[in-house]
């Protein structure tokens, strides 16, 4: 009997993971990728000797002993990478009050520093730190990602999962499940409230923020010393070494369906590739409403795509600078006194990444400094019809960001050798993610734990993987989604899922 064939759309992390686990389990796969390289939104590009990394900021679960680490090991990632621990999650700078706070892994210091800026909230801070300590002991990322796929969980599995999670279950109820923008901790100090609200995104629930801080405290959050290329390339190599095929510059236009069954994919030139199973690890909207013409949807799917909020797109402004920044934290968040004006939006702050933790991003003595600013999809999508205005706006924003950086790094402008601006439209052009939503849906408090089915009603032999099946995306969940999908397929085919050592 021939090995079952699978056509996989997209060579992002989820597509590559699906391909690797499928090959390990006797399926014969071919990945079709629209771009000229793998990685999807985990993207980086070279500019005059600088490596501009426009993707993953930090990696969760990079230490041995967790199920997440095991996943990275299975895919050949950890063997080729070094992930320095994040000793500081970020520096928070509030221009209005002139105050700065470092969110460090050292919880004693964090408690002291937070009390320093908000003495009125001492009790709130103590409770929060004690919750972080409690969470620290649990491998929450692993727990949430690696239980068997929901489709394969029996009663015993569910009981086992509840038992394993017993110490953290309370964190998913009551105020812990409220969004940060609603101030679930009840902090009174306005600066502390702003810090907590913007620690990740204002819409995420309290438990998520506690989990992030617990991971940092537990040294389970790492930086990517080699950036996205060193992370992605080993997975691609693993996939090819397992016999998987990959074609770049192959944009799938249609998923071919016959009698309610997906039977292959079709490209713009009309050619087709037939397969027993089709997996889309590509953008959710274009998969369901364009490649499949919106024929296989129910009310829940329609509602998800009509009314769930997408993650707000970003502009990534990168500068190659001929100086070093030895004492700066890799990430800072600056809440500005006078908001940035982009299109119709007043933007209250921006992030700054300083790639000073590795020699791989810039030649000796030089550094990439990157600014991240939220901006609307519609603004950039409208602007793109007028190339000159689009380019002028990119230039204006780069100059504006540099002006703002001068305050913190005097003289930086005169050291800039390379300037690079990627807009939400750029992200769409390379990865086709709907409206530039680089991590799919907003991981809002009421959505973040939703399980999104990987199948569509009325369509057999078709599955989805990746960030459009896990609200808010992330590296571990995207990689796990590929693994879980193959577990489901093996189960259906009466095979034991295996990962060869």
Nearest alpha-carbon partner for 288 in 260, 255, 250: 255
Q: How far is the CB of 61 from ligand FAD (least distance, A)?
A: 9
CA distance 277 to 91: 47
Q: How far is the CB of 238 from ligand FAD (least distance, A)?
A: 15
If the CB atoms of residues 57 and 495 are measured against ligand FAD, the closer one turns out to be 57
Q: How far is the CB of 115 from ligand FAD (least distance, A)?
A: 28
In sequence order, the 6+-apart residues with CB closer than 8 A to the CB of 358 are 84, 223, 225, 226, 227
* List of residues contacting ligand FAD (CB under 6 A): 9-15, 32-35, 40-42, 54-58, 60, 251-252, 281-283, 286, 431-433, 438-439, 466-467, 473-475, 478
Helices (H) and strands (E) in the chain, counts: 15, 19
Q: How far is the CB of 262 from ligand FAD (least distance, A)?
A: 14
| Residue whose pair of structure tokens reads 């305050």 in the numeric block | 407
Q: How far is the CB of 425 from ligand FAD (least distance, A)?
A: 14
Q: How far is the CB of 182 from ligand FAD (least distance, A)?
A: 24
- Pairing mode, strands 314-321 and 345-354: unpaired
**CB neighbours (10 Å) of residue 325?**
16
Give one DSSP letter per residue of 11-60, joined into a string: -BHHHHHHHHHHHHTT-EEEEE-SSSSSBTTS-EEEETTEEEE-S---EE
Q: How far is the CB of 45 from ligand FAD (least distance, A)?
A: 13
Instruction: For residue 313, give the DSSP letter.
Output: P
If the CB atoms of residues 86 and 114 are measured against ligand FAD, the closer one turns out to be 86
If the CB atoms of residues 33 and 147 are measured against ligand FAD, the closer one turns out to be 33
If the CB atoms of residues 145 and 367 are measured against ligand FAD, the closer one turns out to be 145
CA distance 89 to 332: 9
CA-derived radius of gyration, the chain: 23
If the CB atoms of residues 468 and 497 are measured against ligand FAD, the closer one turns out to be 468
SS3 of 245-295: the string is: EEECCCCEEEEEEECCEEEEEEECCCCEEECCEEEECCCHHHHHHHHCCCC
If the CB atoms of residues 192 and 250 are measured against ligand FAD, the closer one turns out to be 250
If the CB atoms of residues 41 and 297 are measured against ligand FAD, the closer one turns out to be 41
């Amino acid at each position: 009997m021939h090995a079952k064939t699978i056509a996989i759309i997209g060579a992002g992390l989820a597509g590559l993971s699906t391909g690797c686990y499928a090959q390990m389990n006797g399926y014969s796969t071919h990945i079709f990728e629209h771009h000229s390289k793998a990685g999807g939104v985990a993207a980086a590009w070279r500019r005059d000797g600088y490596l501009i990394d426009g993707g993953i900021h930090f990696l969760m679960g990079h230490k041995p002993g967790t199920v997440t680490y095991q996943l990275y090991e299975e895919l050949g990632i950890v063997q080729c990478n070094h992930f320095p621990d994040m000793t500081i999650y970020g520096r928070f700078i509030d221009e209005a009050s002139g105050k700065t706070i470092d969110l460090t892994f050292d919880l004693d210091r964090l408690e002291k520093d937070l009390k320093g800026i908000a003495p009125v909230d001492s009790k709130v801070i103590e409770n929060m730190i004690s919750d972080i300590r409690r969470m620290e002991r649990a491998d929450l990322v692993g727990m949430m990602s690696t239980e068997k796929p929901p489709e394969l969980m029996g009663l015993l599995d569910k009981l086992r999962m509840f038992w394993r999670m017993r110490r953290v279950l309370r964190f998913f109820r009551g105020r812990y499940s409220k969004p940060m923008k609603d101030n679930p901790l009840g902090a009174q100090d306005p600066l502390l409230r702003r810090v907590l609200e913007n620690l990740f995104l204002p819409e995420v629930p309290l438990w998520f923020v506690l989990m992030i801080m617990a991971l940092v405290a537990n040294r389970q959050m790492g930086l990517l010393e080699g950036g996205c290329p060193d992370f992605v390339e080993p997975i691609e190599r693993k996939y090819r070494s397992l016999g998987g095929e990959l074609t770049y510059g192959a944009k799938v236009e249609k998923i071919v369906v016959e009698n309610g069954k997906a039977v292959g994919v079709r490209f713009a030139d009309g050619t087709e590739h037939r397969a027993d199973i089709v997996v889309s690890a590509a953008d959710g909207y274009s998969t369901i409403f364009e490649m499949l013409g919106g024929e296989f949807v129910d009310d829940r799917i329609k509602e998800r795509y009509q009314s769930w909020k997408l993650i707000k797109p970003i502009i990534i402004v990168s500068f190659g600078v001929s100086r070093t920044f030895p004492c700066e934290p890799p990430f800072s968040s600056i809440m500005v006194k006078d908001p940035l004006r982009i299109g119709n939006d007043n933007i209250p702050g921006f992030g700054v990444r300083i790639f000073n933790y590795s020699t791989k991003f810039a030649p000796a003595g030089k550094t990439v400094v990157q600014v991240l600013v939220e901006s609307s999809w519609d603004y950039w999508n409208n602007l793109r019809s007028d190339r000159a205005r689009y380019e002028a706006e990119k230039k204006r924003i780069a100059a504006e960001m540099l002006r703002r950086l001068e305050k913190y790094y005097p003289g930086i402008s005169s050291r800039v050798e390379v300037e690079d601006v990627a807009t939400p439209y750029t992200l769409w052009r390379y990865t086709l993610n709907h409206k530039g939503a680089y991590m799919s849906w907003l991981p809002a408090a009421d959505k973040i734990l939703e399980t999104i089915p990987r199948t569509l009603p009325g369509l057999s032999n078709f599955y989805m993987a990746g960030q459009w099946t896990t609200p808010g995306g992330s590296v571990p969940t995207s990689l796990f989604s590929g693994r879980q999908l193959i577990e489901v397929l093996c189960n259906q085919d009466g095979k034991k899922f295996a990962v060869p050592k």
